Structure 1
Amino acid sequence: MANNEFEEAWLDEGINTYSTGKVLARAFGPGRLSLAINQIPLAWFFKLPKYYDWELDRATSIHIASIDPIVRASWEFLNRLSYGLNVYQRASACLYTLERLLGEGKMLRGLREFQKRFRFRHPRSEDFFQVMSEVAGQDLDWFYRTFFLSAQTFDYGIASLRSRVKPAKLMGLFDEAGVRKEIGRKDIRKSRENLASQKEIREKGKEHAIDKGEEIKEEERLENIRAEKAPPSAEKTLKSKIYLNEIVVRRYGEVRVSPDFPLKIKIVFDDGSEEIRTWDGQERWARFLLEKESRVKLAMVDPENIWIIDSNWSNNSRTLESQNQGVWRLAASFFFILQNFLLTLSGLI
């Protein structure tokens, strides 16, 4: 199969970069950083990070997305760097994203059908996505136009998390049995006073019963004490705190997801429960309000890391409370490596 590499170089270089990375990952697993001092590999002394080719493709190309589109004549790119990163690494990252959207099986069948149909011919970019659309059973023209013909960034993230106790009564205008009802501060104060009065009456009733010397057996009294220490009943559980959890998701980039592939938001609560919400991602932001007996702990967009081309993964998740463990762990690892590097260097001098 041939192609016009002068005008659509990604059909050669991008597909080769993607397919080569797949083969290497299957045959050898993740690679390691090849760092050396005086031709001595640092991997002999330190446990260097592992990575797959798709991670390297993403890391090297996400910053170039806003400069040039992938499909462009080779002489029209800003410079050689933009040309190389777009037609090699960025095109590969986009194909990895397409694979995660469709599934590996459909992606491989699409590539096989593309090669079979255009063998000994000169296909264009439109031909590739037409074949992929037929195999996938859905129109992928949006993916081609968005990620191959435009120079725009893709970036969704969690903007904010909030959690507060839901008040017993809310002030405002309400519809109660078809009748407009307004609740203000006086109504809330009166409701609290009524609850306090009822509690006082119950306490006095207990004291009166004891003063009258009613015959209460010792076993019954102990049973009452045990009941008070027992786990809360369903009725008491209903009276426990209810939290109003607010999650705000934003679209920081220009690119919108397709309605056929809505964005997933994973929400984790303090009690360990989880919820998955979806958002079509067309507006600039969306607010999710959840009432639960537990506070929100963590929110994350794209929890499965489908959108490899997201330009900023650091804003994909947010916790309600700051987490410092990761920072300290990275700092300790950095200073350990630095210490050993200086010791090794001093021995070579």
Structure 2
Amino acid sequence: MPGRINPHWVLARTPPEGWPSDADFAWREAPAPSPQPGQMLTRTVYLSLDPYQWGRRRRGVEQPGEVCHGRAVSQVVESRLEGFAEGDFVFNTNGWQTYGLTGEGISAFGYMFPRKLDPALAPISSAVGVMGMLGLTAYSGLYVQCAPRAGETVVISAASGGVGQVAGQLARLRGCRVVGIAGREEKCAYVRDELGFDECVSHLAPDFQERLYAACPDGIDVYFENVGGAVFEAVLGRLTPNARITLCGLASQYGAMGEDIMQTWRETGAPVFRRQNVQVHPLFVGDYVASHQDQFLSQMSGWLKAGQIRYREDIHKGLETAPRAFQSMLSGGTFGKTLVQVSEDASASR
């Protein structure tokens, strides 16, 4: 359809040290592109905001003037890509824009090929959450890498966040004692009372380390690392012999400039890792798409239907809210999986 305008956010600069500000993003509008053979044009419905996006921008993976990266749930507007038709809902990587091309020759937003979604299986927003890369991240890190056993103690940092809330519930399904770490008490209460964790400790408490140790009287057998910093340092003193760690993210350190934060993390933990024979598993979810995604989707849809897995979304309305929502997420101001609803969710009326 001629005249379609594509509002979008571009990276305004390679960000300096610290956390995102309004100056890092610029609003642009341009005509929406037309799909070529082997491509389709999709309209973004839900945009996923995730901590890793800040790391990409800080490392120069995204360049000033480029549309900001982001995975999305989208609806097909026009298709010249076999297997996809107008009206289909898909998981893709549209980025921070209203319309995007997907298919042959489109490599700007990563390796992910589109996946068609069935709204009858789960709400489509969950495809960038519990039924998407977020859920697969929790599944791969916890089940595949750390393989917790019934009776073990599993600690989840950022427990009320998108990945943390799923990882903790998966550990609970394995019969583990599950202890979450979160921020304000509202989040801790949700993790305990709604998600079924055995305990949740606030890292904001002045006696945080003492509370964590009291919640893990037999030590920590598995640690799902999302945060780093002071939280990680507190966990170190409670790791059991042969403990396992999934290194998913270091959200508290993403504002550091000129540092190899992974190397710093490893050096901090090295004495304990050696003494306790701790296994550390760096986690890149892309390594598990081919081998585990189908199994994960089948199991997760069953757990959701049975009410064994719950999740919470923090949805911001309108693409214009993306920078502020992103800033809020990184500072702990959001609650649950952070999304921006960019356009109407037509699946809700089906």
TM-score range, shorter chain: under 0.3
| TM-score normalised according to structure 1 size | 0.21
Give the structure with the larger strand fraction.
2
| TM-score normalised according to structure 2 size | 0.21
Greater C-alpha radius of gyration: 1
